[in-house]
């Protein structure tokens, strides 16, 4: 096997481990993610998985990065063609709600609940991703306020948007409420001046 092929194989294996890691962590939690479980799931040896990460915390951090990349592809990128400000904010919120219906759509909500009171690098990474996302929302809220498309306190608007999506996730996944997304869309429409 050529060195180039073995590097490509290693990259593909690492990618497969991380994608499966996001799937498992979304349902079972980041703390429940183990080298042994991933090895068994993917038909690899423990040492084969461990060789890519070295330790559980490194695996968890890499899984968080992979989930962030997925979120970017599914929520941020589809909204990129819309006008900054209120149109982009509406597109981002719609994509965010739709993302909740994907198998790994509630990864960050689950991870935040799991690690919110547990200091350390994993919590810091989750909090950092959350802060980046809220920064993006806040930027478009401020543009909408400046344009006169929204009125009120920008920080409160962001808080309400996040709260609506958290409530939708809870109703959708914990209680199985079939009306969770329509209710969330109505709440967001009221908040974003579409009713």
Averaged over 142-146, what is the pLDDT? 97
Q: Kindly state the tokens that stand for 26.
A: 């979304």
Q: Kindly state the tokens that stand for 55.
A: 């330790």
CB-based burial label for 20 (10 Å; 0-12, 13-18, 19+)? middle
Say what the pTM is. 0.90
Give me the pLDDT at residue 34, please.
87
Q: If you count DSSP H runs as helices and E runs as strands, how many of each does the chain have, helices first? A: 10, 0
Instruction: Give just the sign of the alpha carbon dihedral 114, 117, 122, 128.
Output: positive
Q: What is the domain partition of the chain in residue ranges?
A: 3-191
Whole-angstrom CA distances from 69 to 16, 18, 160, 175 are 14, 11, 25, 28
Averaged over 145-170, what is the pLDDT? 97
The better pLDDT of the pair 189, 48 is held by 189
Give me the pLDDT at residue 48, please.
85
Report residue 96's pLDDT band, with 50, 70 and 90 as the boundaries.
Answer: very high
> Which pLDDT tens digit goes with each residue over 33-89?
988 889 998 999 888 888 888 889 999 999 999 999 999 999 999 999 999 999 999
Q: Is the pLDDT of residue 171 over 90?
A: yes
Instruction: Give start and end residues of each alpha helix (H) in 80-177.
Output: 86-100, 107-115, 121-146, 154-169
- The mean predicted confidence, pLDDT, of the chain is 93
Q: Out of 3.40.50.12240, 3.10.20.30, 1.10.357.10, 1.10.3720.10, select the CATH number for domain 3-191.
A: 1.10.357.10
Give me the pLDDT at residue 1, please.
54
Check if the beta carbon of residue 95 is closer than 8 Å to that of residue 78.
yes
Check if the beta carbon of residue 92 is closer than 8 Å to that of residue 80.
no
Between 34-48, 114-128, 170-184, the lowest mean confidence (pLDDT) is in: 34-48
CA–CA separation, 37 vs 31, rounded Å? Answer: 12
């Amino acid at each position: 096997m050529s060195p180039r092929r073995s590097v490509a194989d290693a990259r593909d294996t690492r990618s497969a481990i991380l994608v499966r890691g996001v799937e498992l962590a979304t349902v079972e939690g980041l703390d429940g993610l183990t080298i042994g479980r991933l090895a068994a799931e993917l038909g690899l040896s423990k040492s084969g998985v461990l060789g890519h990460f070295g330790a559980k915390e490194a695996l968890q951090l890499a899984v968080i990065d992979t989930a962030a990349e997925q979120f970017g592809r599914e929520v941020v990128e589809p909204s990129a063609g819309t006008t900054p400000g209120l149109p982009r904010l509406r597109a981002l919120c719609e994509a965010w709600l739709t993302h909740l219906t994907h198998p790994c759509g509630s990864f960050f909500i689950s991870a935040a609940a799991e690690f919110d009171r547990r200091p350390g690098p994993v919590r810091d990474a989750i909090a950092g991703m959350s802060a980046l996302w809220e920064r993006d929302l806040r930027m478009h809220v401020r543009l909408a306020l400046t344009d006169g498309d929204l009125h009120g306190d920008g920080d409160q608007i962001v808080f309400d948007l996040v709260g609506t999506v958290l409530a939708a996730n809870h109703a959708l996944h914990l209680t199985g409420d079939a009306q969770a997304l329509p209710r969330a869309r109505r709440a967001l429409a009221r908040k974003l001046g579409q009713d």
